[in-house]
A and B are shown apart, each in its own frame.
Chain A
Amino acid sequence: MARSRRRTALPAVLLVSLLATAACSAAGSSSRDGGVGDAGEPRSGGELNFALASDPVCVDPHQRATNDAIYPARQLVDSLTDQDPETGEIVPWLATAWEVDDEARTFTFTLRDDATFSDGTPVDAQAVKDTFDSVVALGAQAALGSGYLSGYAGTEVVDARTARVSFEAPNAQFLQATSTSALGILARSTTELPAEERCTGNVVGSGPFVLDEYTPNVSVVQSRRADYAWGSSLWRHQGPAYLERLTFTIIPESGVRTGALQSGQVDAIGGVAAQDEASLAAAGFTLASRPNPGLPFALTANLSRPLPADEAIRRAVSLAVDRQEVVDTVLSPSFTVATGSLAHTTATYTDLSELLPHDPDRAAALLDDAGWVPGPDGVRVRDGEELRLTAMWIPNFGPNENALQLIQQQLRAVGIDLRLRTVPLPELPAAQEEGDFDYFWGNTTRTDPDIMRTAFSADLRNIYRQPSGTPLQEALAAQNATTDPERRAATSAEAQRLLVEDGSTVPVFELTTVLGVADHVHDLDFEASSRIRLHDTWVS
């Protein structure tokens, strides 16, 4: 179905762009937001060196959730479906068609018959079953995928080209989830390996690029598959990728990353620092940016801890944060203040900015009423206990530390002492399980509102220790139990409101992906969740 949509869409877009400019190949980039550059005919060959801002830690697309892990992983695997970045529509990729029953409990995918993994085995219904089974078996290690497959009853191999995935309860978000790399299809030679071995480089997918080598903290190297012919129906061209080789170099210091781009050592960089945006733009580099959907950067309370379990404290924290000041001070104009539990580009987003004012006086009044009186050094005290909260964070996004230091200063103004605790990236899952934090600082990117359930459901990983049986839990379950768009929007809006109303989460700003791209790189596209897609990218 989407194939025909594309055939009709392309000439229309071509016409529009011809009217607008004389450039003949502008069609693709003008039809998709965030696409970079277009100059002449795409050229096959060459290589791209992309600088990542943090180590992927693991190259298995199922196991890591940071953007820097997904950038290289996304190129290795194909998904059953793809999502249109503009319309949010789910379109064919490995699956040419699908059927969803009325209850959203069984999903039947019809696969294309020509796709193969890079080890030569076919992408068939058995591979789909193996992939999903292994994600469920990974459990908490597949932080995102296991949540997308919650209530998984099994996959039935109807025939080689037909796979039927069924769930014990309705799972409306699943169709969108099949478009993410977290549920990308992997070969049996990968899915039967233990989790750790998959991390270090044993990843066999059917994507346009094949993993050559992963050296932790140094680089990820990939080369293209010459026989690739089953690209997503959204891509600009079919057949093998233009680029012969991809090198993802890991450069954690933003200043060094910017310097590497300016000196021509790399062709594109991720995580452009706010303070470098202006100088890169002035030097003739393209800044490609796209707001990330999903959960914005937020301080989210661990409800099992005594202090954040107190609603008065949570609401005081929310009132004390000056979101605009954070964006103005530590971020660039590419970023926006968070206005709800979800980023504004997420499906069913509801504007809740009236619930998120900056009002330190009210925060102070709330704490006064709760019995917290200012102590000698300005930190509030109750019964001899100081109002001290620990916020855990990971260095996966450059401005994190400065944003938190500013928030710390803002909370201090109302008498809350926020302590910061960094956790190295590889230790994050363990630290979240352990739960030794009052607040966790972070975001998660996804186009579907069900990301709230992934983060807050009492039945999943539940790192925030949400109690079960609450109205929030009902709303989270309800939005995933219906395929009716209106009902889904209503229940999702309810969950969004409940999350910010009692300060369970204190959204601060929305992530915007900002890439710095040299002018010889063309058609560096964003997929629906603002991760890079390099199949159509070419260098001149």
Chain B
Amino acid sequence: MNGVNGVTRVAGTAPHQAPSPPAVTPEAGRLAARLGYWLRRPGLVLSVLVVGAVLTAAILPELFTSRDPLTGVPAEKLRGPSAEHPFGTDQLGRDLFARTVHGAALSLRATSLAVAVGLVAGSAMGLLAGALGGRVDDVLMRCADVLLAIPALLLSLAIVTALGFGTTRVAIAVGVTSVAGFARVMRAEVLRVRGTVYVEAAHAAGARRHSVLLRHVLPNAAGPVLVFAAVEFGAVVLAVSALSFLGYGAEPPTPEWGSLVSEGRDYLAGAWWLTTFPGLTIAATVLAANRIARAWEGEER
């Protein structure tokens, strides 16, 4: 790790040692290195573009389409993809592109909420377990083991059945299933950081226990947990879409990616575009999120 990075650092950030191009300033060199990093990873560039587009669609769907996702022209039902309707029209004559774009908002909101639930609850659990140790650690981590023992989809189905239908509830249900993963990562990091010299020094200097925990342990343990959140993001998009596909999401006609695929499956024989395009959108988002998370994970190490 040191070797590779060391070489690039020497070439890029130390121009005074390189005689030939005197015009290259340290800033330009850093820029070139960064550009080179991206140029060598076209997949990552594409992933960032995809996630960026999806995020933009979630916040400003009007940028992509001016059509109404809820109202269609019944006479134009089940038209294939065309210049006018890039994704075709559905069984009620609604523009599928508009529905997919507007579906991004709900699907991503649910995903963000689910990741947030997992991140906050899981981190708190892991932090407490790691910091307090002993009985508390045992109890909390056995709870995490129980959560992990139940298949995630089954657990989220059970929770959403108990909570009732709706996008927010689906998000909470999916979030709860990822709590255990976050708790484990956080606990491991807390245990690692707790043994470091600077934490011992802080204790020796007389800092209070909770202030050491919040000011020294948490910030230094957070990195891997945030990377884990990025990795989870892709999986959660899939889980939210799965529950929405099963009909636990928003009531019709509100579009969600999962429900769009589900609505189209009865027309698979005659109208392939109804399931294909929302399905590809989900797949692209999940793959892109995973690629970005992987890159971030590499940086973190």
On whether the two chains bind one another, the answer is: yes
B211: Cβ under 8 A from any A Cβ: no
**B269 and A405 form a contact (CB under 8 A):** no
Q: Kindly list chain A residues whose C-beta atoms are within 8 Å of the C-beta of B77.
A: 329
Nearest-CB distance from A487 to chain B (Å)? 43
Determine if B92 and A276 form an interchain contact, defined as CB atoms under 8 angstroms apart. Answer: no
* B92 in contact with A273 (CB, 8 Å): no
CB atoms of A330 and B92 under 8 A apart: yes
Q: Shortest beta-carbon distance, B265 to chain A, in Å?
A: 6
Assuming the contacts A329-B93, A409-B70, asked whether A273 and B251 have C-beta atoms less than 8 A apart, the reply is no
Total number of A residues with any Cβ neighbor in B under 8 Å: 26
Q: Is the CB of A401 within 8 A of B93?
A: no
Where chain A touches its partner, the secondary structure class is: helix
Interface 1/0 per residue, B132-165 and A, CB below 8 Å: 0000000000000000000000000000000001
- Cα of A79 to Cα of B94 in the assembled complex, Å: 48
Chain B contacts for A276, CB-based, 8 A = 269
Residues of B with C-beta under 8 A to A402: 91-92
B266 close to A254 (CB less than 8 A): yes
B293 to chain A, nearest CB (A): 34
Q: A330-B91, A404-B252, A421-B251 are in contact. Are A258 and B72 (CB under 8 A)?
A: no
Give residues 390-439 of A contacting B (CB, 8 Å). Answer: 398, 401-402, 404-406, 408-409, 412, 419-422
Assembled-state Cα–Cα distance A421/B267 (Å): 23
Q: Is B270 a contact partner of A420 (Cβ separation < 8 A)?
A: no
Is B253 a contact of A273 with CB atoms below 8 Å? no
Name the residue on A nearest B264 (C-beta): A255
Point out the residue from A253, A325, A330, A422 that lies within 8 Å of B251, measured CB to CB: A422
Q: Are A405 and B253 in contact (CB under 8 A)?
A: yes
A405 touches B265 (CB 8 A): no
Q: Contacts A255-B269, A275-B267, A330-B92 hold; do A409 and B71 have CB atoms under 8 A apart? A: yes
Q: Determine the distance from Cα of A509 to Cα of B196 in the docked complex, in whole angstroms.
A: 74
- In the complex, are the beta carbons of B247 and A325 less than 8 A apart? no
A405, B92: Cβ atoms closer than 8 Å = yes
Q: Are B269 and A258 in contact (CB under 8 A)?
A: yes
Q: Mark B245-280, 1 if CB is under 8 A from A, else 0.
A: 001000111000000000101111111000000000
Known contacts A329-B77, A329-B92; is-contact A405 B252 (Cβ 8 Å): yes
Inter-subunit contact B251/A419 (CB<8 Å): yes
B74 at the interface (CB under 8 A from A): yes
Tell me which residues across on chain A come within 8 A of B93, comparing CB atoms: 329
> Does A328 sit within 8 A of B, measured CB to CB?
yes
Measured CB to CB, the nearest residue on chain B to A262 is: B269
Q: For A253, list chain B residues within 8 Å (CB).
A: 265-266
On chain B, the residues within 8 Å of A329 by CB distance are 74, 77, 91-93
CA distance A189 to B289 in the complex (A): 61
| Known contacts A329-B93, A402-B92, A409-B70; is-contact A279 B253 (Cβ 8 Å) | no
Q: Mark A70-103, 1 if CB is under 8 A from B, else 0.
A: 0000000000000000000000000000000000
Contacting residues, chain B, for A255 (C-beta < 8 A): 265-269
Chain A residues in 8 Å Cβ range of B92: 329-330, 402, 405-406, 409
Q: A330-B91, A409-B72 are in contact. Are A420 and B268 (CB under 8 A)?
A: no
Task: Please provide the chain A residues from 217 to 260 with a CB less than 8 Å away from any CB of chain B in the complex.
Answer: 253-255, 258-259
Contact mask for chain B residues 49-89; partner A; CB cutoff 8 A; 1 contact, 0 none: 00000000000000000000011101001100000000000
Q: What are 30 A-to-B residue pairs whose CB atoms are below 8 Å?
A: A253-B265, A254-B266, A255-B265, A255-B268, A259-B269, A275-B267, A275-B269, A275-B271, A276-B269, A279-B269, A279-B270, A328-B74, A329-B74, A329-B77, A329-B91, A329-B92, A329-B93, A330-B91, A398-B266, A402-B91, A405-B92, A405-B252, A406-B92, A408-B253, A409-B72, A409-B253, A412-B71, A420-B253, A421-B251, A422-B251
Q: A330-B92, A402-B91 are in contact. List 13 more A-B contacts (CB 8 A).
A: A258-B269, A259-B269, A275-B78, A276-B269, A279-B270, A329-B74, A329-B91, A401-B263, A404-B252, A405-B253, A412-B71, A422-B165, A422-B247
